[in-house]
Structure 1
Amino acid sequence: MQRSTLLVVLLGLALAAEGCSTGQRKDDAPVVVSVIGGETKLADPSAGQLDSTERVLMGATAQGLVRFDATGQIEAALAERWIVIDDGRSYIFRLRESYWPDGAPVTAAQVVRVLRRAAAPGSRNALAPFLAVVDEIVEMTPTVIEVRLKRPRPDLLKLFAQPELAVFRTGTLDGSGPFRAQSRARGVLLSPVPDPGTGKAAPEPEETVHLLGERAALALARFKARESDLILGGSFTDWPIVAQAEIAPANLHVEQPLGLFGLAVLQREGFLAEASNRAAIAMAIDRAALTQAVRPEWTPLETILPSQLDSAAPPVRPDWAPLALDARQQTARDRVAAWRRAHPEPLTLRIALPSGPGATLVWAHLAEAMLRIGITPQRVGPADSADLRLIDAIAPYDSGRWFVQTACVACSEQAGALIAAGREAADLPARAQRIAEADAALTADGAWIPIAQPLRWSLVALRLGAWQGNTRGWHPLNHLRNETE
């Protein structure tokens, strides 16, 4: 652990009130939420990838046609109800009465415009590649929208519930709620959008949320000092800090949401040009030792798909999976030795990793695995030029197509063609078959090296009784205190 990080944690421990093992704060105070990430600012999803703080803020101040509840299930948002017709090729949404911060009503035309921009070819929205199935988004009436699909997509609502598809007004980046944002010296103050039917002039202090984007060590110190109620966005990179902070079990929540955690091959040149050599990298890694070094309960994984999901077949195991670890590593050494006999120059692979003590633990095990089989590893930053890059991503919806497409950074033409065929499949059985075939081709190609499921953690004060863990790793701020919010 870096000395500066340790000092911040120790400061938090020193500030913590004696006997306050659960981080409980007064119940009539604003809910203070720290999100591990960048500054607390609104960002336009059409401009590119949102970081964790931007996603939480967007989800709090702008909503899509639907959104997720505390359990990760779909609930109404801008749309009060919807129907699915034409064998799953048409979703019709009826909008509820909603208003922008200046009091102007949210119209179907505005919603259509935002969603069309997100789904347009060439859009930089992170979800645009998975919206190619959308044929047309039309305003049927001032309060009714139809989303017409080229093919059935039963998981469409899960995409529409993501913050990247929240509806906002460009330029001002303001939305219809469930909260309104006011800038503060640090972070933003979120106040719930008033319900016109209640006649209530202002929210109670405990109904507001003070949202902060900050480093993990500072967020942890704040929580230990009883200056916050919730930390969101924790991952493997900062888990060792939490593990040393003696957090009360009642406050600590660890999740392993559906997603990808592994190494993507970025270029198919030199040693990485051959599938057998890419497999050697995968065989060299002691996944159990790596995950246990970070957290003993962290689940290692050897397949691309975590389960069958919507594939026509169970996850494909690589050819080397039945081998014991010693046999795997010996086979990998033999392949590296054969390569080096033909190519006597030094063999170095650059591995791109994020910063943080957890990433350093992962790096230590990856480096040891590479050195064990005769490869010199070099750690580089996440944005640097590299041969392999660690990807740690939560799936936005429960489809094997997301897994194979996200894992295919520099995969074979065959795997890429099968992934595209899954996107264009005429019906669900054909789509399931293409996903299964893409899984098999991508596994044989070795361009994705699975390591584990994603690891996420949160710290939750007891006053937030409605907070719930879920398989999406998403925790909306309007579902923290009770289930009626």
Structure 2
Amino acid sequence: MRSSRLNTLALAASLLALGAGGAPAQDRDTLRLGMQLEPPMLDPTAGAAAAIREVTYANIFEGLVRIAGDGSVVPALAESWDISEDGLVYTFDLREGVTFHDGTPFDCAIVQFSYERAVAPESTNAQKGLFEPIASTECPDPNTAVVTLSQPSSRFLFNMAWGDAVMVAPGTAETNKTTPIGTGPYRFARWVQGDRVEMTRYDGYWGDAPAIETLVVRFISDPSAATAAMLAGDLDAFPNFPAPEALAQFENDDRFTVAIGATQGEVILSLNNSRAPFDDVRVRRALAHAIDKNAMVDAVQNGLGTPIGSFSTPASPGYVDLADAYPFDPERARALLEEAGAAGASITIHLPPPAYARRGGEVAAAYLQQVGLNVDLVPIEWAQWLEQVFRGYDFDATIIAHTEPRDLDIFARDDYYFNYDSAEYKETYQRYLAATDPDEQAAIAGELQRILSEDQPAVFLYVLPKIGVWRAGLEGLWTNQPIPANDVTEARWTQ
């Protein structure tokens, strides 16, 4: 009885503190960070889910180079590099004294293993195409890696900064899915599936030690629960806050900081171009005319987001604003559907768990039904989306944000889930890769965007905003998100 009474009093005191604008005392050695999606695994070289990189990028795993918060490519495990005049040979000077979390030394042999593993026929790397230009990786000495390309690739260095290009050791590569071992400032502690991943500071890290000793990443899929967890002090930060409609609560509360930034994520209504009725470009254009993108941004993102008309964002070099290429025009949409013989067609939209997808599906369905289409919304979990839609190509349409930066290459692939096949696009993309002058490359990027706008292999909706909410006194988290990552290496408590 006495124990129960003490517990009740303790709970009452806690609630009174919250009501007075307080929160549970914060351990300044710990950062509790929230994410909406739990990754299906923890190896960024073996899975497509952005959530894998959001947990591990720069924290557990590192590549030769990395992308900083401002979008620039900066040194990581390579402290410098040299590029030959013909653009074919990259010579990387590797950092000395680097070890993996299990003590395995990092040297050129690791680089050779990591890149050769990525391009191998049996590779499961979701971005295998990034490594296709590599003709060979050689080790003149342990601290030098010489990567020779089969043809110049203006994007090679940027691509090697992606999470898919991190370094892995031969002895642990096969177990990284559940027990990741990298060279980063944090070492994996444990994964309580369905709840959280825990990391601790790696004392043997080659660089500056992070200020935060323990990182706990909690997975909270429901936007209302995410809001409640932040308000209750159960979390310190939610870098990609899933409930924009709740922002006013945080903006008017001096316990919190709200940071609105941009991502490289294009939210699109992906269409299966090999399946009727989407194998007819008139139907795809009809869908683009049928949806009011500005109204969708208002309904789904509380007005935060930039409508787009092709597969690029304003932060990307060579961006062309094509948002008005298909103005909201239900009459034009009906006419195109009638012309294509698709009036009254039935379609299914598979919706993965993120709030933007589930809410966006409801908005899209309402607009498509207004032009005479029969729409069935099917919510599915993330693992099923990856298996059925992304890998199995078994879908009509889906709403998803492609968050990787400057990823125009996905429409040039022979085998990708939306089954788009354009010889013109592929030829133009090869010119884009070969271009070494930045202005020329930007101009060709514009050509690629115009081809996609004309063909509409997907309905390009808007740029996913980055909505960050964290406790006042926490600094060093990214405002913008140039790559899918929750990089906490610069995070620190200032009060």
Aligned residue in 2 for 1:301:
308
1:347 and 2:345 aligned: yes
**Partner residue in 1 for 2:94:** 95
| Distance (whole Å) between structure 2 residues aligned to residue 219 and residue 74 of structure 1 | 32
* TM-superposition CA deviations, 1:236-256 (whole Å, max 9, x none): xx3256447545474222333
SS in 1 for 2:357: helix
Q: CA deviation at 1:432?
A: 5.8
Looking at structure 2, the residues matched to 73 and 318 of structure 1 have their Cα atoms a distance apart, in angstroms, of 26
Cα 1:254/1:331, change in 2 over 3 Å:
same
1:73–1:270 distance in 2 versus 1, CA, 3 Å: closer
TM-score by length of 2: 0.79
Where do 1:114-129 residues align within 5 Å?
Answer: 114-121=114-121, 123-129=123-129
Match of 1:380 in 2: 378
Alignment of 1:35-46 (within 5 A): 35-38=35-38, 43-46=42-45
1:413 aligned residue (422, 427, 433): 422
Q: Secondary structure at the match of 2:306?
A: coil
Aligned twin of 1:466: 476
What is the deviation of 1:435?
4.3
The change in CA–CA distance for 1:407 and 1:318 in structure 2 (over 3 A counts) is farther
Q: Distance in 1 between matches of 2:139 and 2:216?
A: 36
- Report matched runs for 1:186-197 at 5 Å: 187-194=196-203
Residue 290 of structure 2 corresponds to residue 284 of structure 1: yes
Describe the shift of the 1:350–1:307 C-alpha distance in structure 2 as closer, same or farther (beyond 3 A): same
CA contact (8 A) 1:28 1:205 kept: no
Distance 1:208 1:68, change over 3 A: farther
Deviation at 1:204, TM superposition (A): 10
Name which of 462, 475, 482 aligns with 2:486. 475
Match of 2:10 in 1: none
Q: Is the 8 A contact 1:310 1:432 kept in 2?
A: yes
Q: In structure 1, how many angstroms separate the alpha carbons of the residues matched to 2:206 and 2:273?
A: 58
Q: What secondary structure, in the 3-state scheme, does the structure 2 residue paired with 1:123 have?
A: coil
Answer whether contact 1:92 1:146 (CA < 8 A) is retained.
Answer: yes
Matched positions, count: 453
Task: For 2:16 and 2:411, locate their aligned partners in 1 and report how far apart those are by CA, in whole Å.
Answer: 43
Match of residue 10 from structure 1: none
AA aligned opposite 1:315: V
Per-residue deviation, 1:25: 5.1
Query: Does the CA-based 8 Å contact 1:24-1:461 persist in structure 2?
Result: no
SS of 2:475's equivalent in the other structure is: coil
**Residue range with higher mean Cα deviation, 125-134 or 179-188:** 179-188
Partners of 1:160 and 1:166 lie apart in 2 by 8
Question: Are the aligned partners of 1:138 and 1:145 in contact in 2 as well (CA < 8 Å)?
Answer: yes
Displacement, 1:408? 8.5
Describe the shift of the 1:319–1:290 C-alpha distance in structure 2 as closer, same or farther (beyond 3 A). Answer: closer
Shift of 1:444: 1.9
AA aligned opposite 2:257: N
Contact 1:70/1:475, CA 8 A, preserved across alignment:
no
Check conservation: 2:134, 2:150, Cα contact below 8 A: yes
Q: Secondary structure at the match of 1:450?
A: strand
Matched, 1:457 2:463: no
* TM-score normalized by the length of structure 1: 0.80
Equivalent AA in structure 2 for residue 286 of structure 1:
D
- Greater shift in the superposed pair: 93-102 or 263-272: 263-272
| Alignment pair present for 1:447 and 2:457 | yes
**Structure 2 residue 243 is matched with structure 1 residue 239:** yes
Q: In the TM superposition, what whole-angstrom CA distance separates every residue of 1:323-368 from its partner, at most 9, and x where no partner exists?
A: 5x3xx2211122334455xx78x41121222235543432232122
Say if 2:333 is the partner of 1:332. Answer: yes
1:206 positional shift: 4.5
Q: How does 1:91-170 map to 2 (within 5 A)?
A: 91-96=90-95, 97-121=97-121, 123-169=123-169, 170=173
State yes or no: 1:20 paired with 2:21: yes
Residue 222 of structure 1: how far off its partner (Å): 3.0
Most deviating of 373-382 and 244-253: 244-253
CA distance in 2, matches of 1:409, 1:465: 40
Report the alpha carbon displacement of residue 160 of structure 1 after superposing the two structures with TM: 2.1
- Alignment CA distance shift 1:361-1:399 (3 Å): closer
Distance of aligned partners of 1:268 and 1:258 in 2 relative to their CA distance in 1, 3 Å threshold: same
1:361-440 correspondence to structure 2 within 5 Å? 361-381=359-379, 383=385, 385-396=394-405, 398=406, 400-401=408-409, 409-418=418-427, 421-422=430-431, 425=434, 435-440=445-450
Letter in 1 for 2:149: L
Match of 1:5 in 2: none
Farther off after superposition, 434-443 or 99-108: 434-443
Q: Partners in 1 of 2:239 and 2:41 — Cα distance?
A: 17
> Aligned to 2:184, which of 172, 177, 182?
177
How far the C-alpha of 1:38 sits from its partner, in A, is: 1.4
**Structure 1, gaps ≥5 residues long:** 1-12
Using the TM superposition, give the Cα deviation of residue 279 of structure 1 relative to its aligned residue in structure 2, in angstroms: 0.7
Q: Letter of the 2:235 partner, please give it.
A: S
Q: Which amino acid aligns with 2:285?
A: A
Residue 219 of structure 2 aligns to a residue whose secondary structure is strand
Contact 1:264 1:390 in 2 (8 A): yes
For the 8 Å contact 1:260–1:454, the answer to whether it is kept is yes
CA separation of 1:355/1:475 partners in 2, compared to 1, >3 Å: closer, same or farther? closer
SS in 1 for 2:92: strand
Residues 432 and 75 (structure 1), Cα distance of their counterparts in 2 relative to 1, 3 Å cut: closer
Residue 256 of structure 1 aligns to a residue whose secondary structure is: strand
Does residue 59 in structure 1 map to residue 68 in structure 2? no
1:79 maps to 2:86: no
Distance 1:475 1:350, change over 3 A: same
Helix, strand or coil at the partner of 1:215: coil
How far apart, CA to CA, are the structure 1 residues paired with 2:428 and 2:21? Answer: 52
CA distance in 2, matches of 1:281, 1:90: 45
8 A contact 2:352–2:400 mirrored in 1: no
Deviation at residue 84 of structure 1 after TM alignment? 2.2
